[in-house]
Structure 1
Amino acid sequence: MTRILTFAVGLAVVIASGVVYGDWTQRWQESTALESAAAKLQSLPEQVGRWKARPADLDREALDMTGAKGWWVRRFTDERTGSSLLVILLCGRAGPLSVHKPETCYTSAGYTLAAAPVHYTIRADSEAAPAEFWTGVFKKPEVGGQQLRIFWSWYGLGAWRGADNPRWTFAHLPALYKLYVIRETNGRPERLDDDPAAEFLRRLLPELSRTLSAP
């Protein structure tokens, strides 16, 4: 009898903690905050300075696997230089968007990391807090294989953060955004500050922040 009672008490604690965690992370319900956050993706800019956007195709199944409620996918091209970037902005519950990282997704697609990802800070607006990003180079191992420079960050509570532990950092938020900016490189070493994607982000982030933080 004692063993049964102990088991029952333990099970009740597990269930209760699961309900609390599920409520904290919005696992059990679609919140109105999430619906509102996803709707803002319809109001994002189609031109940023000399960078002009066009819709980009991305596998729907891959997007669904991220757990996103909505997404904005564009191919931005610099009309002067011809540089091209793939921009993916996802909106969803914090849990799913925290666990899908390029280190996992791209390595499972046959890419290898040239080096460990590093933090990179972008100062896009003198009146706003610096934006924190992760960035890394992913490449196909074969000779002449594609090489990609990827920047990624999360947006919540009015700030872009390259969190070390995003699942814990953002767990309490009812909605979260995750941004990827991807550029195919020529394989030659270059300073991050000179990367066209970094210059693009300095222009894009104030536009995104204004829209995503609007009531």
Structure 2
Amino acid sequence: MDFTLTRTKAAVLGCSLALVSCLATSAARTQVPPRCAFELAETLGRWELIERCELQPSELDILQAGDHWRHVYQHRQTKQVVVVTLIAGPGGPLASHLPETCYARTQFRAHSEPVVWNMPDQSDQFRCQTLQPRKVDQPALTIAYAWHDGSRWRAPQFPRFQLAGHPTLQRLLVSMRHPGGMTAEAQQVIRQVVGLTVDAAESVDVVPDRSVDSSPTRVTRRSIPAPPST
């Protein structure tokens, strides 16, 4: 049977999906706030944890986050720095607020076309983009992110619609600041970190209780600007 997607039908479909997402989000609010399914260790391959960060309250409010963590890692040899952020919360807000859109409103003027990565030997997918700074003397930013729907990491083209119906989601974001001419290298680095993170997540059986800081005191804190995650 032929089916032509007119503007009216598209509008009705969009409203229906938005309603489903809204109902799922409302249902999620009445339940126990979702927790992050895992938390990375201080060592991730050749990367060492150098800082634990907190998202701004305004960001958490926009995403209605139930739980989150942000870790800053530095490579032992190259000294490159990456930021890994995991947020757990209602599916509607997490799927509606795209990282590149929020970045573009603040420090960046444009972003490249997204590239979808298929993880080797897995059904997981991640979306990667590079954002150019508003000021030429500032570094560019490459990001990769995906949502976990309870079965796998997904990076759909229209997450607000394609992830509608999931009451809760977890969004993983890996970011790296770098000179504008090093985009290809930055993408390779982030892809490696994404792979290490996904592998680490699959090996975790129990999420540690972060209400008590049991981490060794050797972790040092540095003043590294943490861009918004909404």
Using structure 2 for the length normalisation, give the TM-score.
Answer: 0.71
Q: 1:55 to 1:97 in 2, by over 3 A?
A: same
Q: Hey, what does 1:184 align to over in structure 2?
A: 177
Q: Hey, what does 2:145 align to over in structure 1?
A: 152
Matched, 1:68 2:61: no
Distance in 2, matches of 1:173 and 1:105, equals 22
Matched, 1:168 2:161: yes
Alignment check: 8 A CA contact 1:193 1:199 kept: no
Match of 1:195 among 185, 188, 206: 188
Aligned to 2:35, the other structure's residue is in SS state helix
Alignment check: 8 A CA contact 2:148 2:171 kept: yes
Q: Hey, what does 1:30 align to over in structure 2?
A: 29
Runs (4 or more) in structure 1 with deviation over 6 Å come to: none
One-letter amino acid of the structure 2 residue matched with residue 113 of structure 1 = A
Q: Hey, what does 1:45 align to over in structure 2?
A: 41
Note the C-alpha offset of 1:52.
1.8
| Stretches of structure 1 lacking an aligned partner (at least 5 in a row) | 1-16
Alignment check: 8 A CA contact 2:100 2:111 kept: no
Note the C-alpha offset of 1:195.
2.0
Distance in 2, matches of 1:146 and 1:121, equals 27
Note the C-alpha offset of 1:45.
2.5
Matched, 1:115 2:112: yes
Alignment check: 8 A CA contact 2:36 2:68 kept: no
Distance in 2, matches of 1:85 and 1:175, equals 26
One-letter amino acid of the structure 1 residue matched with residue 95 of structure 2 = S
Alignment RMSD: 2.8
Note the C-alpha offset of 1:184.
0.5
Larger Rg: 1
Which of the pair has the greater relative contact order for Cα pairs under 8 Å at 6+ separation? Answer: 2
Distance in 2, matches of 1:197 and 1:181, equals 7
One-letter amino acid of the structure 1 residue matched with residue 171 of structure 2 = K
Q: Hey, what does 2:126 align to over in structure 1?
A: 133
Note the C-alpha offset of 1:67.
1.9
Q: Hey, what does 1:209 align to over in structure 2?
A: 202
Q: 1:213 to 1:122 in 2, by over 3 A?
A: farther
Higher helix fraction: Structure 1 or Structure 2?
1
Range 21-30 or range 68-77, more displaced? 21-30
Alignment check: 8 A CA contact 1:75 1:87 kept: yes
| Stretches of structure 2 lacking an aligned partner (at least 5 in a row) | 1-15, 208-230
Distance in 2, matches of 1:172 and 1:178, equals 16
Distance in 1, matches of 2:158 and 2:111, equals 22
Distance in 2, matches of 1:212 and 1:151, equals 25
Aligned to 2:197, the other structure's residue is in SS state helix
How many residue pairs align between the two structures? 190
Distance in 2, matches of 1:39 and 1:164, equals 24
